Amino acid sequence: MELNERKRAILAAIIRAYAEHGEPVGSKSLCDLLDFSVSSATLRNEMSSLCELGYLEQPHTSAGRIPTVRGYKLYISDLMNRDTLSGEMKLIIDAMLDGISGETGDITARAGQILSELTGLPVITTSVMSEHDSVKKIEVIPMGRHSVLAVVVTSKGMLKNRICRVADEISPALIERFYTLCSTYIIGKPLSALSPTYLQQTVALSGSLSLMSLAADVFGMISDIKHSSLTLRGESNLFRCYSRDGEVQRAMELLSQKDVMLSLFNKVTSPVGVLFGDDTEISELQPATLVIARYGHDGHELGKIGVIGPTRMSYDRVIPSLEYFASKMSKVITQNLTDLED
């Protein structure tokens, strides 16, 4: 059923008031919030109707109304003001993100920190294992007589290093052979192709134990890159999402389960999406909601960045900010990648 103009205005006003004060909105206080004047009795009728339609609910009989998830969804898709992002906020985001450089993973983590400070909410970033990412460079730096520092860089700017020990003494010849092996079997290959079975099929042929252990380490690093996908920043802000005792604790434990969060983030496919705790089967998330945006490079998604907030958060502030933030992030990453190329 379509809502008429007045019902829509009432729903929007209730959502805004609830976001601000966090308390059920009654018919009287609602009177003052509307830009047209009707009596509280009329509002009661309208509110009761919105309840029946599933957009509002009452915590208990003698309380005001609060929005339901359905109400929020309508608000976000139809009702809210989509372009409320102030020029000031854009300037701040630009200023915070401009000039950040480094490897893509670092940039993402730091952007998460910044977004958390900007919004006062916990922020999660993920990097999807990009189908289009490939190994760009592998370097080996001798450290001791039996150890080297191996560095792997991907074409999307992900970087990983690890100190590797080998049985043989490190020699220029060994390193030379390893580089040959890498450029034959690894460099330029998409990450998705570099599975452990591929490792077995190719490197097992090389014969040398040290070469094999080095290669195994490199594959380990590549696997790390594929899965090094989740950072959490500003966790102390979790307290803004929950009020009841013990909820924050359980939520924090949930957030540390990377795989769960990752699969949650993967549910979002639109450029910017809202994932209500109520819509997930995860009880710890109940009173919270995720707002998630994609960032990327060259049209390809590199990952997602999202904030966790109370379901009653101010979507008309959070969504445009996050949208702009993610697009700026994409630009910064792209800039860094082209810097690496030229």
Partner DNA sequence: AGTTAGCACTCGAAGCACGCGAGTGCTAAC
Partner DNA sequence: GTTAGCACTCGCGTGCTTCGAGTGCTAACT
Rounded (10°) angle between helices 258-266 and 247-255? 80
| Helix, strand and coil in the chain, % to nearest 5 | 50, 20, 30
Size of site (CB under 8 A) for a copy of itself: 34
User: Considering CB distances under 5 to 8 angstroms, the limit depending on partner class, which of DNA, a copy of itself, none binds residue 141?
Assistant: a copy of itself
User: Considering CB distances under 5 to 8 angstroms, the limit depending on partner class, which of DNA, a copy of itself, none binds residue 289?
Assistant: none
Report the nearest approach of a copy of itself to the CB of residue 144 (Å): 4
The answer to whether 132 contacts a copy of itself (rule: CB under 8 A) is no
- CA distances to 40, 91, 121, 201, 228 from 108, rounded to whole Å, are 49, 19, 16, 34, 12
* Contact with DNA (CB under 7 A) among 1, 5, 35, 62: 62
* Contact with a copy of itself (CB under 8 A) among 9, 252, 260, 262: 252
The answer to whether 70 contacts DNA (rule: CB under 7 A) is no
* Contact with a copy of itself (CB under 8 A) among 39, 45, 81, 161: 161
Q: Is the dihedral of CA 125, 126, 131, 134 positive or negative?
A: positive
Residue entry with tokens 């790390």: 224
Segment lying near DNA (by CB under 7 A), choices 24-32, 67-75, 163-171, 187-195: 24-32
* Contact with a copy of itself (CB under 8 A) among 89, 92, 129, 149: 149
For residue 264, give every residue at least 6 positions away whose Cβ sits within 8 Å of its Cβ, in sequence order, or none.
Answer: 275, 280, 282, 290
* Contact with DNA (CB under 7 A) among 24, 105, 277, 296: 24
* Contact with a copy of itself (CB under 8 A) among 23, 57, 139, 224: 139
Report the nearest approach of DNA to the CB of residue 40 (Å): 7
User: Considering CB distances under 5 to 8 angstroms, the limit depending on partner class, which of DNA, a copy of itself, none binds residue 216?
Assistant: none
- CA distances to 125, 149, 156, 159, 191 from 132, rounded to whole Å, are 19, 26, 8, 16, 8
User: Considering CB distances under 5 to 8 angstroms, the limit depending on partner class, which of a copy of itself, DNA, none binds residue 340?
Assistant: a copy of itself
The answer to whether 227 contacts a copy of itself (rule: CB under 8 A) is no
Closest CA to 275 of 106, 286, 244: 286
The answer to whether 22 contacts DNA (rule: CB under 7 A) is no
The answer to whether 61 contacts DNA (rule: CB under 7 A) is yes
Distance, CA of 19 to CA of 14 (rounded, Å): 8
User: Considering CB distances under 5 to 8 angstroms, the limit depending on partner class, which of DNA, a copy of itself, none binds residue 300?
Assistant: none
User: Considering CB distances under 5 to 8 angstroms, the limit depending on partner class, which of a copy of itself, DNA, none binds residue 200?
Assistant: none
Report the nearest approach of DNA to the CB of residue 243 (Å): 11
Distance, CA of 56 to CA of 60 (rounded, Å): 12
For 176-221, give the DSSP string: HHHHHHHHHHTTT-BGGG--HHHHHHHHGGG--HHHHHHHHHHHHH
β-partners of residue 150 are 140, 162
Report the nearest approach of DNA to the CB of residue 39 (Å): 4
Closest CA to 336 of 301, 309, 298: 298
- Measured from the Cβ of residue 133, the count of other Cβ atoms closer than 10 Å reads 23
- Using CB under 7 A as the criterion, which residues of the chain lie in contact with DNA when the complex forms? 24-29, 37-42, 44-45, 47-48, 51, 58, 60-65
- Using CB under 8 A as the criterion, which residues of the chain lie in contact with a copy of itself when the complex forms? 101-103, 137, 139, 141, 143-147, 149, 151, 153, 159, 161-163, 165, 235-236, 239, 245-246, 248-249, 252-253, 256, 336, 339-342
